[in-house]
Chains A and B, each alone.
Chain A
Amino acid sequence: MHNLRFRSLITFTSLWLIGRQRSSCVEEGTAIGDTKGQAWNNDWDQGNPMAAQVSAGQKSKASRHIIMVRHGHYKKSKATGDQLTDLGRRQAKLTGKRLREWNISWDQVVVSTMTRAQQTSEIILKELNFDPRSVVHTDELREGAPYLADPPSKARRQKLEESIRRDGPRIEAAFRRYFYRAPPDQERESFLLIVCHSNVIRYVILRALQLPPEAWTRLSLNHGSITWLTVHPTGYVSLRFMGDSGFMPVQQISSRCSRDSGLKPPKEIQNRG
């Protein structure tokens, strides 16, 4: 009996010591000043082939600017499919003009394959100096439910989980494809324009800034608004502005789609646009 007690004492003490050791490691690793949150990870793009050399220790020299545009106002309709409205077209035109004002030479333009994004990008590209034939069209950027939101939405949990199961990994894949540090042979800043959807943009902002992704519903974006993220050579990411739509007259600002039927859809679905 004595033997038994002794053994349990040893097991207990050793496990307790190990546990203590581990928790103190965590604190040393993250704390700067008073902060005990998650430390910034500079090497977040590991595994992206574009950043492989940088990850392996070579220096990245230039910044990558990623400018994301939400599609314009559109109407949901079973008969004709979801199409941009006149308002949406005007918004897209204004967005295009604003982007032209920046006088940027675009390195790449990527567009979601959904009709509203396609139509928006067509209008925008008329304003920009970029060959429409070199635009990349991708299914990865299509609208969807990226992550279980917190604070929780009122939509049915099961249905939400199903959509997240379907869309979540795909949207995460889009993030991983387009966000990485510039490869070492990139000499000057590069500019990537992405035309896609609100949920995707909101999720990607949080992922890029290493903020909790479940917070995506706390952000909202107007139609045709511009969001500007910069990936610095060090691996630091900063947000320059989010949902910039000040270039539109106030009456033309919208953030929700309209529908054919007079019935008002529940809030959660309205949000998805």
Chain B
Amino acid sequence: MRKFTAFACGTGAGLATFYLTKLNEPKAAVHNSWTRSEKPVDACALWDNNWDLRDPKSLVKPVKNDLSQEQNRYNTELEKVVPKHARHIILIRHGEYLDVGDTDETHHLTDRGREQAKYTGQRLQELGIKWDKVIASTMVRAQETADIILNEIDYEKTKVKNCAFLREGAPIPPQPPVGHWKPEASQFFRDGARIEAAFRRYFYRAHPDQTKDSHTLIVGHGNVIRYFVCRALQFPPEAWLRININHASITWLTISPSGNVSIKYLGDTGFMPVKHLTNRIPRPAKNVV
């Protein structure tokens, strides 16, 4: 009997110690991806409301005590940092192009690519939006697309921002890996952080002093747009390659004042005749981005 009790107690104590140590361990390392590696992600991936570090509650000193004075201080300060309006970010992929030559300088839009860009420009004009900002990637195909679009929409050409952060690249190794597209690890290393930096530069909830909904137009590239969509909606970013978008398509993301993000449409090209729809370089695929 004594032996049995000893055995039971011993096992019990062992189990208890095990679970106690386990509790004390830093959270089992389930990280969504390297982009969020500083924050362990819950298994069921809850929405992180402070994704842009602009959650009003995180910008105000927390309440120190129960005094009504302190409460008032907190409420006034909070009121000052709460955004009131939404930001709409409209992402356009460049038109069809041909990669003649080794450098980007000679990668021009095809005739069809130009037509696609024109259709997109007309559609954007039809939407009747007053653009607050237009940003284009510095790559030739994006620049050419932006030029054609700007002929159609109401925005001063000289005010367009060119941004090298938006250049095409390999954002993060896709899951599942896909046969024909296998960039070197060094490409992901080089481009990944830069594209994440672009995301952080353009995606944030409105500032509290913004007085109306704003519209930002970004002319960029397939991989970058797909990565942005995944990051903005807090999907695992390695899923980006599961999405395909057509040339010169429109993708509409909205960041509401609460910090929630939603997508209105993805890769919309309904305004182009079906025969104009393309999504890759018009020749057998080569390992380029």
Could you tell me which A residues sit within 8 Å of B by CB distance? 3-12, 15-16, 19, 23, 27, 32-40, 42, 98, 101-103, 150-151, 209-212, 214-215, 217-222, 225-226, 236-250, 255
Report the separation of the CA atoms of residues A103 and B29 in the bound assembly, to the nearest whole angstrom. 50
Q: Is B249 an interface residue (CB 8 A)?
A: yes
Report the separation of the CA atoms of residues A179 and B73 in the bound assembly, to the nearest whole angstrom. 55
Could you tell me which B residues sit within 8 Å of A by CB distance? 6-7, 9-15, 17-18, 21-22, 28-34, 44-47, 49, 123, 126-128, 172-173, 175-178, 185, 188, 192, 233-236, 238-239, 241-246, 249-250, 260-274
B233's contact among A15, A218, A225, A249, by CB below 8 Å, is which?
A: A218
A34's contact among B7, B17, B33, B127, by CB below 8 Å, is which?
A: B33
Question: In the complex, are the beta carbons of A32 and B177 less than 8 A apart?
Answer: yes
Question: In the complex, are the beta carbons of B185 and A33 less than 8 A apart?
Answer: yes
B278 to chain A, nearest CB (A): 12
Question: In the complex, are the beta carbons of B267 and A212 less than 8 A apart?
Answer: no
A150's contact among B10, B46, B267, by CB below 8 Å, is which?
A: B46
Question: In the complex, are the beta carbons of A4 and B44 less than 8 A apart?
Answer: no
Q: Give the chain A neighbours of B250 by CB distance below 8 A.
A: 246
Nearest B residue (CB) for A11: B14
Question: In the complex, are the beta carbons of A243 and B172 less than 8 A apart?
Answer: no
Q: Give the chain B neighbours of A11 by CB distance below 8 A.
A: 10-11, 13-15, 18
Question: In the complex, are the beta carbons of A9 and B14 less than 8 A apart?
Answer: yes
Q: Give the chain A neighbours of B21 by CB distance below 8 A.
A: 12, 16
Report the separation of the CA atoms of residues A255 and B239 in the bound assembly, to the nearest whole angstrom. 27
Q: Give the chain B neighbours of A220 by CB distance below 8 A.
A: 262-264
B265's contact among A15, A39, A102, A225, by CB below 8 Å, is which?
A: A225
The answer to whether A211 and B6 touch (CB under 8 A), given A16-B18, A236-B178, A250-B126, is no
B131 to chain A, nearest CB (A): 15
Given pairs A4-B13, A241-B245, 10 additional interface contacts (CB within 8 A): A5-B10, A11-B18, A12-B15, A12-B21, A27-B29, A38-B236, A39-B175, A102-B274, A212-B235, A245-B270
B150 to chain A, nearest CB (A): 19
The answer to whether A36 and B30 touch (CB under 8 A), given A7-B14, A247-B270, is yes
Question: In the complex, are the beta carbons of B30 and A33 less than 8 A apart?
Answer: no
Nearest B residue (CB) for A30: B175
Nearest A residue (CB) for B7: A7
User: Can you report 29 residue pairs joining A to B where beta carbons are below 8 Å apart?
Assistant: A3-B6, A4-B13, A7-B10, A8-B13, A8-B17, A15-B15, A19-B18, A34-B34, A35-B173, A35-B238, A36-B32, A37-B175, A40-B175, A101-B273, A150-B46, A150-B47, A151-B260, A209-B242, A209-B243, A211-B235, A212-B44, A215-B233, A218-B260, A243-B264, A243-B268, A244-B268, A244-B269, A246-B271, A250-B126
